Amino acid sequence: MKIAVLPGDGIGPEVTREAVRVIEALDLGIAMEEALVGGAAYKATGHPLPPETLALAQGCDAILFGAVGDPDCDALERHLRPEQAILGLRKELTLFANLRPARVFPGLENHSALRPEVAGAINLLIVRELNGDVYFGEKGFRTTATGEREGYDIMSYSESEVRRIAHVAFQAAQGRAKRLCSVDKANVLETSQLWRDVVIEVSKDYPDVTLEHMYVDNAAMQLVRAPGKFDVVVTGNLFGDILSDQASMCVGSIGLLASASLGERQTDFGTFGLYEPIHGSAPDIAGQGLANPMATILSAAMLLRHSLGLGEAADRIEAAVAKTLSAGVLGRDLGGSAGTAEIGDAVLANL
């Protein structure tokens, strides 16, 4: 069993360090190898996703990823920017299904941006498509007939892309409360109309799952009004990116939300995947020991469960995180004063 560890930029290395310590403490016989990615890789090699990093990722059973993004790199040409590394990994490794669970940990109901009785009911899973949409369409700048500069990014989804993510979402719903909400903008976008048509077609294979459709603007509102009504939400790359950051504040902090990015490739132990917190490199707090590592620690738990078949170890990590949070060991993001390593220490002590 081998994991590629890609810490990346900003708080990426800080939060990844804590997740690695947790995996090591469980003594599961997992080999880990680290490589450069993002701005750190660009600065060292001239490319945000060097071939050696991609090769390491391809050769492992799973990837633990921190975050990429560096303000020093914001003026680079698009293909050299740190963010291209995570987009490249998702695309190159055909990791099309991004699972982003959001639930309120017992004792944290008062730390949500919502009223405690509203927040306490949250237990949802966002299934975000990760290989298509406006993120991967043709893009560029052009000059209009009047001589103005114009930027464009093409949004598109093919039937097969929608079909495969729809199957993942229906199957996830079957393992939960059997309710699926497909979020789109079919009242305006053809991409979304096709999305909706295909989701309806796929629903015929899952008569036990109740399907509803919601426009994304309403979904953003319902996520704050009554988030407890959602079970599984399936949506495209852009809408899923936005709604999951929003869901994180319904739960309390973006430092709590983990994710798994999966495809179809199987390893000897489970499904090959990349695991990362849903947040970015947080340059505003980087290097200060203030980042909450829980999202990355919980991503490591997802890694053990989905890619390495180590469900019991994953349960242990999740229980230790819940115990640490309910004991009031909270970072600044949740109104506490615990630093990154202190939170990691507390999780280790509770394992």
Ligand X SMILES: CC(C)CC(=O)C(=O)O
**Which positions are annotated as active-site residues?**
135, 185, 217, 241, 245
In this complex, which beta carbon is closest to ligand X, that of residue 50 or of residue 277? Answer: 277
In this complex, which beta carbon is closest to ligand NAI, that of residue 67 or of residue 262? Answer: 67
Task: Write the interaction track for ligand NAI spanning residues 104-143; mark x where CB under 6 A is met and - where it is not.
Answer: ----------------------------------------
Q: Which of the listed partners (ligand NAI, Mg ion, ligand X, none) does 53 bind, with a CB threshold of 5 to 8 Å by partner kind?
A: none
Q: Which of the listed partners (ligand X, Mg ion, ligand NAI, none) does 282 bind, with a CB threshold of 5 to 8 Å by partner kind?
A: ligand NAI
Q: Which among 187, 165, 169, 186 is positioned nearest to 178, based on CA atoms? A: 169
Alpha-carbon torsion (244, 245, 251, 253), positive or negative = positive
Name residue 233's amino acid.
V
Q: Is 345 in contact with 19 (CB distance < 8 Å)?
A: no
According to the annotation, is 245 in a ligand binding site? yes
- 333: contact with Mg ion by CB under 5 A: no
Subset of residues 272 to 301 that bind ligand X, contact rule: CB under 6 A: 278, 280
How many whole angstroms separate alpha carbon 118 and alpha carbon 138? Answer: 41
Side-chain-side CA neighbours of 112 within 13 Å: the count stands at 26
According to the annotation, is 61 in a ligand binding site? no
Axis-axis angle for helices 159-174, 190-203 (nearest 10): 50
Q: Measured from the CB of residue 144, what is the shortest distance to ligand NAI in angstroms?
A: 28
Q: List C-alpha distances in Å: 81 to 68, 132, 158, 251.
A: 9, 19, 27, 31
Q: Which of the listed partners (Mg ion, ligand X, ligand NAI, none) does 254 bind, with a CB threshold of 5 to 8 Å by partner kind?
A: ligand NAI
Q: Is 255 in contact with 271 (CB distance < 8 Å)?
A: no
Using DSSP, state whether 347 is helix, strand or coil.
helix
Count of residues near ligand NAI by CB under 6 A? 21
According to the annotation, is 241 in a ligand binding site? yes
Reduce the secondary structure of 111-128 to three states and give it as a string.
Answer: HCCCCHHHHCCCEEEEEE
Name residue 7's amino acid.
P
- 99: contact with ligand X by CB under 6 A: no
- 95: contact with ligand NAI by CB under 6 A: no
Q: Measured from the CB of residue 89, what is the shortest distance to ligand X in angstroms?
A: 10
Q: List C-alpha distances in Å: 344 to 34, 109, 190, 221, 270.
A: 19, 22, 46, 34, 27
According to the annotation, is 281 in a ligand binding site? yes
Subset of residues 205 to 264 that bind Mg ion, contact rule: CB under 5 A: 241
Q: Tell me which residue has tokens 């590592």.
A: 293
- 69: contact with ligand NAI by CB under 6 A: yes
Longest Cα–Cα distance in the chain:
65
Q: Which of the listed partners (ligand X, ligand NAI, Mg ion, none) does 18 bind, with a CB threshold of 5 to 8 Å by partner kind?
A: none
- 72: contact with ligand NAI by CB under 6 A: no
Q: List C-alpha distances in Å: 320 to 10, 299, 310, 333.
A: 26, 14, 16, 19
Task: Write the interaction track for ligand X spanning residues 205-244; mark x where CB under 6 A is met and - where it is not.
Answer: ------------------------------------x---
Q: Measured from the CB of residue 278, what is the shortest distance to ligand X in angstroms?
A: 5
The annotation places the binding site for substrate at 90, 100, 128, 217
The annotation places the binding site for NAD(+) at 280-292
By CB under 6 A, name the binding residues for ligand X: 83, 86-87, 241, 278, 280
By CB under 6 A, name the binding residues for ligand NAI: 11, 15, 67-69, 83, 86, 254-255, 276, 279-285, 291-292, 295, 333
